[in-house]
Structure 1
């Protein structure tokens, strides 16, 4: 009996130990342990790709910083060029004409630079012919039908002299037409005659206006339909027509500039004298006015000082970005090319057509480049060249194909070009493409990570099912062993 008892006791211990080991295994694998297999799958799949995703994120962040630095430089040179352009367009950096009597004319800078003083006397403004028709009441009354003919030429001493080089204009007037219809038909021809209907207390009448200049006079002929008369009343010529209908005669402008009598078919006269374009606005017969030229020396000096300050801000930013140890854009081809451009800026020819001895480069008016790439302005040199070549220096600060603004604008456009790989714009374009590629890679890795997570969840679900089945079997066997032990006792 003792032996049997000992054997039974040993078996019970073995079964208990076996049950404890199984429970431990199940607990470890998550069967009833509270471990979330879905979370475990998430963690494992994340760990699988974390390193590669972190590397891509770090590269993307670095590219973002580089793009920001390159964009800052690009915007700085763009802002400088725009600012210089604005100053040039205001005209305070150029020699500009100034008229003493502004009621006589408006003066603007011509195609060249002027100097000295000019005398201007305006005795007559250029005008266009203004002709009216007899009044019609009411305004909606019909005026007959047929054809109106406009002939162009000059009118003098009550006679019309036709201009053989200009064709007549025939205007068809349909039956039932009103003055408004006639005006529309004339305007539709685009012959240089504008027409409209003016209404007063006495009725409506057609007003016809021609272009400025004595050669732009005109007569109006009518060929009316016999069965629909009335159109002939609109016709006019200086020999037989009412003088009261000619409100303004066509005339040329007449003026005397620097003692020379001149005429113009228009009140706007481009390059009337070196450095001066005119827009005549009034007369001053017997009281000539003076046109002089401004001295932009002070404004140019200020502009050059401002230019040096702005360039040095750009160079400071560039030096920081390209520092060999800490620079964001170290080794960037766009930044290197931009530095080369700035280094050569003072020696760049900005006025290729300048006369011998006249300033051609920014260095000629005092700009120099230091060893560290910064700029300095020699104000004494600038003052001397302004004194010896005022017009030539001023010409460097005009809005045209050449000059300081054109040069800065060229530098800006070169730096911002997205198609040139050796420009800031090209570098930005390249880095942006790299960011796009990184974004695609990250998206691909995220897809793979999700696929792995799904696979792991599926596998763990199957394992949980098997462990659950095993646990049920183990519970049954444990119960049987317990029952057997109880009978043995």
Structure 2
């Protein structure tokens, strides 16, 4: 209605297109501000996209580091399929060659009570005692004092299958009733491996009732012919020294490695660093780092000398990340020996443009003389420099590389790098101290009798430091996280400002239209009055 009225007034008034005029004046007043805000939002969106590219490149670097970690430099090999090593703690491994001769495998005791009639035949009621220990000569049995004997109460109507289930419910025993296929049934009982895990069954009381005689399971006089296989310990010669174990898993003859035995005979276990794996891992790391360095350089270039400025030129968050990364790559790797290690020593050279390249002569020289230095790239080191002290645990992110001082006072209170520890007595003069606070939180120190002080050493690897830097940068309070949050808030604020300007523009245009309508009405009235006067004048002229 207002549009029709304005059009009608305009035809009889000034003749101007007042609606277009109002729109033009409104745009002149609001468009520059809107354009500036939209331009700022566009730039922020471009910066967000660039930060997303940095995140993606960090992910690619993380994958490169994981790939290198899955191709360990330190490996263990065996000459026998019957002696299989498995790495459990690569940090504790060190190059060595260990001869092993498996004389005997650990075995389970296997008992067979044969000649029985049926799986469902009843067993005489009574009490059957089960003991664990080690059989000697004849009927000699050395019961294990740490394991209590168990007495099974055999109720009337109990079948052979029921008895097998009752025995299997006991820890350390597997029992089953088997149909042998020759018209007879056997009760098989199997212990765990190890000579001290053998079983002795004895009848405490028999009812004398119907069923298979309970006395047929009594072993008081020795296992006799019912023993198909005796329980034995594994016997292994390690460097010629006889070592026995209750099972076929040896966990303490080679630090950081478990050894599973499955056959007798000699074997050589070897731990060594592989040059090919080290070379491939170094190149993988260089490629991953160059991807990050190249992207950062492209995004932050200033546009000097005709060059195109990057999307993040002058961005403080990116400048901070670049500075941190350059510091890690240029700085020393401490805690991996008496002297710091630099990337240049490991065959990682820095070009003038900031990119990294593989330096074969430096790599070959260090691998030949100090192959252990390459551990500083991919794995943290936690070692003791004092005999009688050992250390374990996962260092906190705040722990700095270097030597850690361990002290115990006369009252038995221990500190590690000045942080109080919780002490536990292991008996026979041995103690373990656990750090619960400070940067050493998570570490535990075991001290042998008489050892009250010493030095421990921690080295954080390049990959460990890079992972920490990336995780921190991507966190909500890190450089990337904070910058992304700032840009997101700025974009939201800009959108709100545009919405407010659009609402204000509508009000301004409405105000202009209202004023123009009043003006046109006045002009129309004046035009009408002028026409009236003209007509009156014309009439006077005719009357003369």
TM-score surpassing 0.5?
A: yes
Question: Is the 8 Å Cα contact of residues 91 and 381 (structure 2) preserved in structure 1?
Answer: no
Which of 465, 481, 485 is 1:425 aligned to? Answer: 481
Q: Deviation at 1:413?
A: 1.8
Per the alignment, do residues 452 and 117 of structure 1 end up closer, same or farther by CA in structure 2, a change over 3 Å counting? same
Which of 277, 285, 289 is 1:311 aligned to? Answer: 289
Could you say which residue in structure 2 is the equivalent of 1:256? 237
Which of 323, 336, 339 is 1:340 aligned to? Answer: 323
Which secondary structure does the structure 1 equivalent of 2:363 belong to? Answer: helix
Question: Is the 8 Å Cα contact of residues 83 and 262 (structure 2) preserved in structure 1?
Answer: yes
The CA distance in 1 between the partners of 2:229 and 2:93, in whole Å, is 37
Question: Is the 8 Å Cα contact of residues 270 and 277 (structure 1) preserved in structure 2?
Answer: yes
Question: Is the 8 Å Cα contact of residues 76 and 85 (structure 2) preserved in structure 1?
Answer: no
Could you say which residue in structure 1 is the equivalent of 2:131? 151
The CA distance in 1 between the partners of 2:29 and 2:186, in whole Å, is 91
Question: Is the 8 Å Cα contact of residues 346 and 368 (structure 1) preserved in structure 2?
Answer: no
Question: Is the 8 Å Cα contact of residues 400 and 406 (structure 1) preserved in structure 2?
Answer: no
Per the alignment, do residues 367 and 241 of structure 1 end up closer, same or farther by CA in structure 2, a change over 3 Å counting? same
Could you say which residue in structure 1 is the equivalent of 2:306? none
| 1:59-98 alignment runs, 5 A limit | 59-91=40-72, 93-94=73-74, 96-98=75-77
Question: Is the 8 Å Cα contact of residues 178 and 185 (structure 2) preserved in structure 1?
Answer: yes
The CA distance in 2 between the partners of 1:172 and 1:59, in whole Å, is 86
Per the alignment, do residues 371 and 254 of structure 1 end up closer, same or farther by CA in structure 2, a change over 3 Å counting? same
The CA distance in 1 between the partners of 2:178 and 2:32, in whole Å, is 84
Question: Is the 8 Å Cα contact of residues 224 and 232 (structure 1) preserved in structure 2?
Answer: no
Which secondary structure does the structure 2 equivalent of 1:81 belong to? Answer: helix
Q: TM-score, normalised by structure 2?
A: 0.63
| 1:240-319 alignment runs, 5 A limit | 240=221, 243-273=224-254, 277-284=258-265, 288-319=266-297
Give the unaligned 5+ runs of structure 1: 1-19, 468-489
Aligned length: 433
The CA distance in 1 between the partners of 2:258 and 2:100, in whole Å, is 12
Q: Deviation at 1:123?
A: 1.2
Could you say which residue in structure 1 is the equivalent of 2:313? 330
Summarize deviations over 1:332-366 as a string: whole Å, max 9, x none: 343122211211123445451x2325x63434323
Question: Is the 8 Å Cα contact of residues 179 and 205 (structure 1) preserved in structure 2?
Answer: no
Which secondary structure does the structure 2 equivalent of 1:129 belong to? Answer: strand
The CA distance in 2 between the partners of 1:323 and 1:235, in whole Å, is 91
Question: Is the 8 Å Cα contact of residues 217 and 250 (structure 1) preserved in structure 2?
Answer: yes
Question: Is the 8 Å Cα contact of residues 112 and 186 (structure 2) preserved in structure 1?
Answer: yes
The CA distance in 1 between the partners of 2:223 and 2:314, in whole Å, is 85
Summarize deviations over 1:280-333 as a string: whole Å, max 9, x none: 12111xxx3333344412321232233223222211100111122422223334
Is the counterpart of residue 366 in structure 1 residue 332 in structure 2? no
Question: Is the 8 Å Cα contact of residues 332 and 427 (structure 1) preserved in structure 2?
Answer: no
Which secondary structure does the structure 1 equivalent of 2:328 belong to? Answer: coil
Question: Is the 8 Å Cα contact of residues 378 and 464 (structure 2) preserved in structure 1?
Answer: no
Asked which structure has the greater CA Rg, the reply is 1
Per the alignment, do residues 61 and 150 of structure 1 end up closer, same or farther by CA in structure 2, a change over 3 Å counting? farther
Question: Is the 8 Å Cα contact of residues 155 and 238 (structure 1) preserved in structure 2?
Answer: no
Q: Which moved more, 1:71-80 or 1:389-398?
A: 389-398
Which secondary structure does the structure 2 equivalent of 1:314 belong to? Answer: helix
Which secondary structure does the structure 1 equivalent of 2:244 belong to? Answer: strand
The CA distance in 1 between the partners of 2:177 and 2:498, in whole Å, is 73
Could you say which residue in structure 2 is the equivalent of 1:160? 141
Q: Deviation at 1:56?
A: 5.1
The CA distance in 2 between the partners of 1:439 and 1:176, in whole Å, is 84
The CA distance in 2 between the partners of 1:46 and 1:171, in whole Å, is 97
Question: Is the 8 Å Cα contact of residues 56 and 438 (structure 1) preserved in structure 2?
Answer: yes
Give the unaligned 5+ runs of structure 2: 1-6, 304-308, 383-459, 522-544
Question: Is the 8 Å Cα contact of residues 333 and 376 (structure 2) preserved in structure 1?
Answer: no
The CA distance in 2 between the partners of 1:368 and 1:431, in whole Å, is 36
Q: Deviation at 1:187?
A: 5.7
Q: Write 1 or 2 for the structure with the bigger share of helix.
A: 1
Question: Is the 8 Å Cα contact of residues 202 and 219 (structure 2) preserved in structure 1?
Answer: no
Which of 100, 105, 115 is 1:125 aligned to? Answer: 105
Is the counterpart of residue 103 in structure 1 residue 103 in structure 2? no
Which secondary structure does the structure 2 equivalent of 1:346 belong to? Answer: helix
The CA distance in 1 between the partners of 2:356 and 2:281, in whole Å, is 14
Could you say which residue in structure 2 is the equivalent of 1:214? 195
| 1:342-421 alignment runs, 5 A limit | 342-352=325-335, 354-357=336-339, 360-370=341-351, 372-394=353-375, 396-398=377-379, 402-420=460-478
Q: Deviation at 1:186?
A: 5.4
Question: Is the 8 Å Cα contact of residues 154 and 161 (structure 1) preserved in structure 2?
Answer: yes
Which secondary structure does the structure 2 equivalent of 1:306 belong to? Answer: helix
Per the alignment, do residues 243 and 308 of structure 1 end up closer, same or farther by CA in structure 2, a change over 3 Å counting? same
Question: Is the 8 Å Cα contact of residues 194 and 234 (structure 2) preserved in structure 1?
Answer: yes
RMSD, aligned α-carbons: 4.9
Question: Is the 8 Å Cα contact of residues 194 and 247 (structure 2) preserved in structure 1?
Answer: yes
Per the alignment, do residues 259 and 442 of structure 1 end up closer, same or farther by CA in structure 2, a change over 3 Å counting? farther
Q: TM-score, normalised by structure 1?
A: 0.69
Q: Deviation at 1:429?
A: 3.7
Q: Which moved more, 1:315-324 or 1:390-399?
A: 390-399
Per the alignment, do residues 327 and 166 of structure 1 end up closer, same or farther by CA in structure 2, a change over 3 Å counting? same
Per the alignment, do residues 58 and 282 of structure 1 end up closer, same or farther by CA in structure 2, a change over 3 Å counting? farther
Question: Is the 8 Å Cα contact of residues 172 and 185 (structure 1) preserved in structure 2?
Answer: no
